[in-house]
Amino acid sequence: MSSSTITERGDAGQSPGGVWAQSADAFDRWIAGDPSALDDLVRAMTPVLWHVVRAYRLDADAAEDVIQSTWLAFVRSSATILDTAAVGGWLTMTARREAWRVSKGAGRTTPTDEEELAPHLPRQRSAETDVVEADRRDRLWGAVDGLPERCRRLLRVVAFENRPDYASLASELGMPIGSIGPTRGRCLAKLRVALIEAGEL
């Protein structure tokens, strides 16, 4: 039951593998001379870039600037991406580097996690999806909220990325390289316990 609800999400909720394959296909079509394929690539990858960049605690405007400069860099540098299947990884890596650079600089990060201030209002739902669904979502949110901040940031990047490169993640999130894998494992285990306690697993 839980997985069926979880997968009925928008693009960003898709497993990264599907998004990555769509992106590679769009890049191939763009190279083959279909200008509209660039729109498809941007549509597939922008939600992923949003979530990855927001894990660096940038406010919405700063995050949008980073995503835009990522797309401009992509158009300018596309000739250097030889393996079209790697385009998703190239985009997220470029966006993470830029997000990290901006987040180290002056005051464009949110003082407290902006996401935590967002009201936990249920999205508009059709009548038949209901209180049960809203309760369930609250429990999922609560489980993620209960994680330490470094877990939330790391898991957000890892969840939307496809096999992120640990070395760059480590320096960007201020963790030793060797600790990324174990930290990810501990964070996932904590989330699992929280979901079990919330009755969601």
Partner 1 sequence: MSEMSRELMLSVVRSVYDDRDPVPDGLVTRMQAAAREAADDLGFSLEVELMTLLERSSELVGTRSDAATRAVYTLRFVHGQVDLLLRVAPEGERSRIDGWVVPPEPITVRVVHDDGSTFAAIISDTGRFEIPDVPLGLVRLRLEPHDDRAPFVTPSFEI
Q: Which residues bind partner 1 (CB under 8 A)?
A: 2-3, 5-7, 9-10, 12-13, 15, 25, 28-29, 31-33, 35, 38-39, 41-43, 46-47, 50-51, 54, 60, 64, 67-68, 71-72, 74-76, 78-80, 82-84, 114-115, 118, 120, 123, 137, 140-141, 143-144, 155-156, 158-160, 185, 188-189, 191-192, 195, 200
Closest to 16 (Cα-Cα) out of 56, 58, 51: 51
Q: Which is nearer to partner 1, 80 or 126 (CB)?
A: 80
Rounded Cα gap, residues 139 and 59, in angstroms:
26
How far CA 30 is from CA of 26, 27, 37, 52, 201, in Å, comes to 6, 5, 5, 24, 42
- Give me the least distance between CB of 140 and partner 1, in Å please: 5
Q: Which is nearer to partner 1, 158 or 180 (CB)?
A: 158
User: What's the gap between Cα 73 and its chain centre?
Assistant: 19
Secondary structure of residue 58 in the 3-state scheme? strand
Residue in this structure with the two tokens 């407290």, named with its chain if needed = 112
Q: What is the DSSP letter of 124?
A: P
Q: Which is nearer to partner 1, 86 or 175 (CB)?
A: 86
Q: Which is nearer to partner 1, 79 or 131 (CB)?
A: 79
Q: What is the DSSP letter of 20?
A: H
- Give me the least distance between CB of 101 and partner 1, in Å please: 19
88 by Cβ neighbours in 10 Å (0-12 / 13-18 / 19+) ranks as: buried
Rounded Cα gap, residues 33 and 117, in angstroms:
45
Q: Which is nearer to partner 1, 25 or 175 (CB)?
A: 25
Q: Which is nearer to partner 1, 71 or 100 (CB)?
A: 71
- Give me the least distance between CB of 11 and partner 1, in Å please: 8
- Give me the least distance between CB of 170 and partner 1, in Å please: 19
- Give me the least distance between CB of 92 and partner 1, in Å please: 14
